[in-house]
Each structure stands twice: as structure tokens, then as C-alpha cells.
Amino acid sequence: MEGPSLHRLLRTQFHCPVELHTSDLDKRCDCAVGNFDQHGMFLMAEQLPVGAVVHVKICAHHAAELDGLVRFSGANGTSITFSKVTPAQHHEIDELIEEFTPGEILAS
């Protein structure tokens, strides 16, 4: 029997530490809140310059490190598109999605 398809889940919410590194900034958010999928993330309340290249580390039970580009930054948060995601990083994201998705959703 095939397991749940995590690709059906459009975006997954998270609440965990996140590290952000740009050419001008090194910041750790101990209680970051936002959502993510295989293509990018939205991080509430972090303002970064639009167009900045950013290295993101999501620090949960499972961790993922990805490079991205800031696409939007405003009063409500920052949108980052991941770039050049390797198969290993896709696997890390899948593990994070499973970690943050409630079991009753995964069982459906």
C-alpha cells in the first residue's frame, strides 16, 4: 500500500527557529512563524530587501538549509523563493512537511 502523498499539500505552516543569512544580515529567529512548500516560504514579520539572495536554515527536529531569493517583503512578512533545490534538499523539505503536518491530515 502506498503511503500518503505529501505533494498534495500545497503549503505547510511552521513554528520553529529559522536562521537567515544575506550579504548584510545574519539573524536567528527563535520562534519564527510562517509557511513553506518545495518552492519557497513565507516568513511572518521578517523584513529583508527585495531581490536579496538569502541562505535559510529551518531548525526543527528535521532541518533543511536552502538558498533563495527574496521576492516580497512588507509589513506582514517576507516571501522567499528557493533556488537550485537538490534532491537531498527536496527530501529534507518532505521530512519537514511531515513533521509539521498533523497526523490526521497525513492519514487521509
In the 8-state DSSP scheme, what is residue 82? E
Mean per-residue pLDDT of the chain: 85
Residue 103, in any domain of the structure: no
Whole-prediction pTM value? 0.83
**Range 71-104 burial, b when 16+ CB lie within 10 A, else e:** eebeeebbbbebeebeeebeebbebbbbebeeee
Tell me what the mean pLDDT of segment 75-98 comes to: 92
Residue 27 structural domain: 12-97
pLDDT of residue 66: 96
pLDDT of residue 101: 84
Residue 2, in any domain of the structure: no
Residue 25, in any domain of the structure: yes
Residue tagged 535559510 (cell numbers): 56
pLDDT of residue 105: 53
Tell me what the mean pLDDT of segment 26-40 comes to: 91
Our count of domains for the chain comes to 1
Residue 76, in any domain of the structure: yes
For residues 66, 67, 69, 75, the Cα torsion angle rounded to the nearest 10 degrees is 50
CATH of the domain at 91: 2.40.10.220
Residue tagged 529534507 (cell numbers): 92
% residues pLDDT > 90 (the chain): 55
